[in-house]
Amino acid sequence: MEDIRKILDHEFPQFFDSELKDEITKVGTLRTIKEGVHLMDVGQYVKSIPLIVEGRLKIFREDEEGNELFLYYLHHGEACAISLVCTINDKISQVRAVAMEETTIITIPIENMDRFMMNYRSWYQFVVHTYGMRLNEMLHTIDSIAFMKMDERLLAYLEKTAEVSGSQTINDTHQNIATELNTSREVISRLLKQMERKGLVKLSRNHIEVLT
């Protein structure tokens, strides 16, 4: 419990007041999620809210045919707005959350949500802040699909991935990137070659160095 309180003080200092931190410390559980593990999946009921302490989660949307579309990243000091919506409305998840590296989270059981919303203004403000951030992320995704060419979407995706990971080198396959952008591997490979000729990226096997 002492570890959870210290983590809240360090990672969420701007959001939670002291009484709320005490409450989260009492009911929260510290968990470590291995890389590649699905923390939340499409069709599941959400039973707890994850607060990201360390690491990264990637949030995907899936259509009826199983095709995925990358929506946004979650990293330390954040929570998933969609999981908050699901717990408040007792609905199943419409997204998939996957750990992109070993990720540490604090899970808060959903039975605490109503009480937190009614009793702690700092929790209400955190939820509103989280909704706002995620809405902006999803609007950006919608805009990129509707108004940007695929080469522009790809470059924006690479730059965002580099920013979130803190490294200009992205370790991923062309197929994975194509899946997340809902296009073909051939299209991604062709566009990356064009970007390399323009000096925007440097390519090697399963590695993309962003030069912008």
pLDDT in tens, the chain (212 residues): 558 999 999 888 888 999 999 999 999 999 999 999 999 888 888 888 899 999 999 888 877 777 778 888 888 888 888 788 777 666 788 889 999 899 999 999 989 988 999 999 999 999 999 988 888 888 888 888 888 899 999 999 999 889 888 899 999 999 989 988 889 999 999 999 999 999 999 999 889 999 98
Domains of the chain (ranges; CATH) run 2-146 (2.60.120.10), 149-210 (1.10.10.10)
Instruction: Say what the pLDDT of residue 34 is.
Output: 95
What string of DSSP letters covers 117-163? HHH-HHHHHHHHHHHHHHHHHHHHHHHHHHHS-HHHHHHHHHHHHHH
Residue 118, burial from CB neighbour count under 10 angstroms (0-12, 13-18, 19+): exposed
Instruction: Say what the pLDDT of residue 64 is.
Output: 74
Question: Which residue, 42, 69, 39, is CA-closest to 179?
Answer: 69
Instruction: Say what the pLDDT of residue 198 is.
Output: 94
Residue 177, burial from CB neighbour count under 10 angstroms (0-12, 13-18, 19+): buried
CA 129 to CA 123: how far, in whole Å? 10
Residue type, 156: A
Q: Which residues pair with 92 in a beta bridge?
A: 45
